[in-house]
Amino acid sequence: MSTSVALSRGYNGILPRTTRLSDESYLDFVETFRGIAGYGTFATVAAEGEKAVAEALGETNDTTDIKDIKEVINKLPLPATWQRYMRTHQEMMWRRTRGSFEPFQDDLVNAMDDAQNKGPGKLTLDPNFKVPNYARREIHLQPGGYTDDPIGGIVYHYGTKVFYAGANDQDELHAEIVDTLTPPEDGKVDKILDLACSIGQCTLILKDRYPDSEITGLDVGLPMVKYAHWQAVKRGVDVNFVQGLSEETKIDADKFDMVLSYILFHEIPVRVIKETVKEMFRILRPGGTFCIYEFPSAGPNMPASQRWMIDYDSINNCEPYSPGFVYMDFHKELKDAGFNVKPGPKNSNGFLQTIVATKPA
């Protein structure tokens, strides 16, 4: 495969470098700023928020009106400043990442097109595939979202490197997810689906950990799966990618032994969540496991400051569907579909809940 001019600065391990050193330096600053001012101060922001809410509203739970919580916390100087930081560095991140790769768009698209029919794995695209409108939102403020920017894959890769604030430069967090999966009790893992795989970070690691299994990554975003397949071809990893819908996969019933979904459900509307849960039950074989890593679900123990943060994120970080997920009874949805539901293993990202939903044998 021809080496892309866009990537003439090479890779840092598996991470593509930006096209100019000045972009890398700028994004390093944004990443450090995010780490310190965004993540590093949140515990203080939350503590101040909790104190003020307790004084103004007394004890709260998930039925306390979020408007009342916002009314109290938004007036505090530190939380207000934190919101400004979060929004601004998110915008700086996407503007500079996309700005770095955009002059080389044709070159990048050619490289992905060139890889399309190469192996060892397959990329399956349906020319008649129609992206539903709900999936076209610019989630996390990413320009063009997951579906409408031809170079969205590389932009997402470098952008989320910054988002993870140095903790995922070599997909370390994805590796941790894959390492903590719960295989079926009978130990048979012939076929694994990485649902909403984005750029295939878990998908490729799955092949490393389960070399004898057939691995498929499915995502609605064409730029995502095209980039994922390009990475797999370059690294010689035998995994398959398909552009498809979680709620209507067109996959045969009882096909997979294990399905992984890492942070999908808070990004789709409630109707699609419900359809996806049923669809996963259909395509898992009896005894198969659905391993879910996701935003927390509300309940009497969700602190007011966390509800406030999720509300902020939904509005200012374009997560339009996350409150729908957080406030629905997701566990009940899984049980109603027929799954046996248990908590999954702990993860170093303490914010996430993990669930293992097993289709009865």
Ligand X SMILES: C[S@@+](CC[C@H](N)C(=O)[O-])C[C@H]1O[C@@H](n2cnc3c(N)ncnc32)[C@H](O)[C@@H]1O
| Chain positions contacting ligand X, by CB under 6 A | 135, 146, 174, 196-198, 201-202, 219-221, 224, 245-247, 262-264, 267-268, 272
Task: Extract the tokens encoding 271.
Answer: 């109707």
CA distance 110 to 101: 14
Q: How is residue 65 written in tokens?
A: 């009106």
| CB of 31 or CB of 219, closer to ligand X | 219
Cβ distance 101 to 155 under 8 Å?
A: yes
183, HSE (Cβ side, Cα atoms, 13 Å): 13
**Would you tell me how many other CB atoms lie within 10 Å of the CB of residue 360?**
9
At 86, which amino acid appears?
M
In angstroms, what is the minimal distance from the CB of 219 to ligand X?
A: 5
**CA–CA distance, 123 with 40 (Å, rounded to integer):** 40
By C-beta, is 49 or 153 nearer to ligand X? Answer: 153
Find the shortest distance in angstroms from Cβ 34 to ligand X: 17
Question: Taking CA 116 as the corner, what is the angle to CA 247 and CA 11, rounded to the nearest 5 degrees?
Answer: 100
Query: Shortest Cβ distance from residue 235 to ligand X (Å)?
Result: 16
Beta carbon of residue 280, minimum distance to ligand X (angstroms, whole number): 11
Per the CB < 8 A criterion, the answer to whether 230 and 115 are in contact is yes
Distance of closest approach, residue 197 Cβ to ligand X, in angstroms: 6
Quick one: angle between helices 201-209 and 222-235, nearest 10? 40
Q: Distance (Å, rounded) from C-alpha 195 to C-alpha 290? A: 10
C-alpha pair distances (Å), 229 with each of 69, 333, 344? 44, 33, 29
- Identity of the residue, 16 or 49, whose beta carbon is nearer to ligand X in the bound complex: 16
146 vs 308, which CB is nearer to ligand X?
146
Residue 221 CA: distances (Å) to CA of 30, 194, 261: 26, 14, 15
Angle at CA of residue 166, ends 162 and 168, nearest 5°: 90
269, 299 contact by CB (below 8 A): no
Residue placing its CB nearer to ligand X in the complex, 26 or 293: 293
* Nearest approach, Cβ of residue 220 and ligand X (Å): 4
Q: Give min distance, CB of 77 to ligand X, in A.
A: 32
Specify the residue, 60 or 249, whose C-beta has the smaller distance to ligand X.
249
Closest approach, Cβ 48 to ligand X, in A, equals 29
Nearest approach in angstroms of CB 331 to ligand X is 20
Q: What is the largest CA-CA distance in the chain?
A: 64
Pick between residue 69 and residue 245 the one whose CB is nearest to ligand X: 245
Cβ closest to ligand X, residue 155 vs residue 196: 196
CB 94 within 8 A of CB 143: yes
Report the DSSP pairing between strands 340-343 and 353-358. antiparallel
Select 49 or 144, whichever has its Cβ closest to ligand X: 144
